[in-house]
Structure 1
Amino acid sequence: MKALPKIGLTSHKKEERDEAASLKRAMESSPFKILERTNVVSKLLQSHETDLSIAVQLLDCTIADLSAYREHFEESKQVAQGLSEKWGVSKAFENTRARKVKAHFDELSQDERLADADSYFRVHVFDACLDIVISQLTQRFTGLRSTAERFKAIQPMTLCTATDDELFRQASKLVDI
């Protein structure tokens, strides 16, 4: 991504400059699924009128969406292949030679390597990135979750929908803290 503006500025050929500019525009406008899902929560958390219970609900929905997206590798691969065709880039993963691992006679199972590039990419890039994002969203907002749960009795949505007994129980929990 950083090389495209450099090509646009330093190239002497008009075709290269135009192609670099159009590729840069296309990459900037293409949707990134992970960022799309986290952007809504990020904007809500940055606003001044944030309702903590809604923020926690959106965080939970985002984590659930990303967990579901993790299972749809083939669909995201097809979208990426469509973009690569549109941009004129090779859509096949590069296969590398599998390294030999020294096996000892007393080992029960061999170290299994992923043979094809698709499964290697899925395990080491796609799933790994999504796992990192999901775990970060879960770990970083544990304080927000506990705060929202602690002050649930005075949340506007709870005050409107809860019964008197539920409000009394939640207020008692708040006083005990």
Structure 2
Amino acid sequence: ISGMRDWQHVFRNIMIHETSDCHFEACLVYNQWRLHSTIDKDLESKIRKKASYWRQVLSRIFNVTLTLAMSNLAFRGHRGIIGEGNSGNFLSIVELLTKYNPSLEELVRKPKGSTTYLSPKIQNKIIYQVTEGIINDIKNALFYSVIIDTTQDLSKVDQLSQVFRYITIRFHENTSTAKSFNVVLMIVFQTKVLEAINVLSKMLQSETQELGKAAEMLENAYNLMKDLRNSFFNIRQSVVKVAQTWGFELKRAPEAKRHFDELSADQQLTEPESQFKVNVFYISIDIIIAQLDHWFQSLKEIVHDFHSVNPQFLVESSDEDLHVAEVTLASRYAADLSPNFTAQLLSLRSCWKSEIKKLSTVKELATMLIVKQNTFLSSFPDVYTACMLFVSLPVT
């Protein structure tokens, strides 16, 4: 190690050095380095093997815990020892898996007092960590929905369940997809549709909503969707502003050169924006319009049948028009309305025309007959019956 200066006896000194412990240890280190290994390779191999073993054990314990939690099953029984009766669902499943998994079999055979990770504390920690992870994902999500439902168990105790629905996007994996112009276009398009449909849906679900008002709102939503179908350019302008706000790049699609003998009809929808407009935008809008039209036409027919008891029509219509409307309604409900229906409508209009002018719905007319003019209710039984038939019809 310190060198040599006795060159006359160099061969003897070399032989002495080659038989020394220092040279032997140096050769051993060199040989291990040449094999790309370390001196403590065996120790490191044991550590890795042990880590792999515990990783497999914890993976199976984790899966059993999540399975029982998602199935809303009890974990523990009367006894917390594997192999004994009533040990609970968790230990019973672990005991079953030991027959097919060597890692769990070795875990169960460990002596008492050894680390097994089968205690209830570990189960609670796993559930807590999963819950915290879900809560963090919901908080970080841009949009999420909540569904709450209650039911009674066998002991008549209400059980409340909450369901959260959210979407997570891995931007580092789907950068090109997330920053697509069509994605922003779809979001803005759905927002426009939901702004109109959501208000309609909430109003139709109201307990005080009347059939005539529902038909009017459906007609407004139908006309709004028809206008939206012709507003793709305005939607695109809104998308451009949103995309610029979010920092998305707007790339112009390359245009293919056409030959002089090609016609415009030969052009295919190769541009993504045109494909979205034809294959998504128009198809979605047409389906919505068709559904609203079918729903609106059904309500429109019912409202038209009961046109004779509409306060505005009752005041402004002539005797002939009122008679025609009465015949239409009486023919549909012949078992409920008598031939005196027209005479009762004319008599009602002549008696309280000024008060009927202040009304706007059939429900208000029925309220006037039942509450304000209840003493004359027996004089207009068919009018009252027609109003009750209309009010009792469900909106949805």
**TM class by shorter-chain length?**
0.5 to 0.7
State how far apart, in whole Å, the 2-side matches of 1:163 and 1:49 are.
31
- 1:148 maps to 2:307: no
User: How much has 1:172 moved relative to structure 2?
Assistant: 1.3
- 1:162 maps to 2:321: no
1:134 counterpart (289, 292, 302): 289
1:63 counterpart (222, 237, 261): 222
With the length of structure 2 as denominator, give the TM-score of the two structures. 0.32
Partner of 1:9: 136
AA of the residue aligned to 1:44: M
1:44-83 CA-to-partner distances (Å, cap 9, x unmatched) read 3222232322322221221112111111111101111211
Give the conservation status (yes or no) of the 8 Å contact 2:219–2:296.
Answer: no
Closer, same or farther: CA 91–163 of 1 in aligned 2, 3 Å: farther
- Which structure is richer in relative contact order (CA contacts within 8 A, separation 6 or more)? 1
Larger radius of gyration: 2
State how far apart, in whole Å, the 2-side matches of 1:7 and 1:126 are.
34
Give the conservation status (yes or no) of the 8 Å contact 2:307–2:325.
Answer: yes
AA of the residue aligned to 1:45: L
RMSD: 3.3
State how far apart, in whole Å, the 2-side matches of 1:90 and 1:7 are.
32
Closer, same or farther: CA 24–51 of 1 in aligned 2, 3 Å: closer
User: How much has 1:129 moved relative to structure 2?
Assistant: 1.1
- Find the residue that maps to 1:89 and give its secondary structure: coil
- Find the residue that maps to 1:128 and give its secondary structure: helix
Give the conservation status (yes or no) of the 8 Å contact 2:200–2:218.
Answer: yes
State how far apart, in whole Å, the 2-side matches of 1:49 and 1:81 are.
41
Closer, same or farther: CA 160–32 of 1 in aligned 2, 3 Å: farther
Partner of 2:180: none
Closer, same or farther: CA 44–63 of 1 in aligned 2, 3 Å: same
Closer, same or farther: CA 155–81 of 1 in aligned 2, 3 Å: same
State how far apart, in whole Å, the 1-side matches of 2:219 and 2:273 are.
30
State how far apart, in whole Å, the 1-side matches of 2:215 and 2:197 are.
13
Unaligned runs of 5+ in 2: 1-132, 145-183, 254-264, 333-396
- Find the residue that maps to 2:198 and give its secondary structure: helix
Matches within 5 A, 1:1-177: 9=136, 20=140, 23-24=142-143, 32-92=191-251, 113-177=268-332
State how far apart, in whole Å, the 1-side matches of 2:193 and 2:200 are.
12
Unaligned runs of 5+ in 1: 1-5, 11-16, 96-109
State how far apart, in whole Å, the 1-side matches of 2:317 and 2:268 are.
55
- Find the residue that maps to 2:293 and give its secondary structure: helix
1:20-60 CA-to-partner distances (Å, cap 9, x unmatched) read 56x549x9xx8821112223332332222323223222212
AA of the residue aligned to 1:79: S
User: How much has 1:128 moved relative to structure 2?
Assistant: 1.2
User: How much has 1:122 moved relative to structure 2?
Assistant: 0.4
AA of the residue aligned to 1:32: T
User: How much has 1:92 moved relative to structure 2?
Assistant: 4.7
State how far apart, in whole Å, the 1-side matches of 2:211 and 2:271 are.
45
List structure 1 segments (4+ residues) > 6 angstroms apart after TM superposition: none
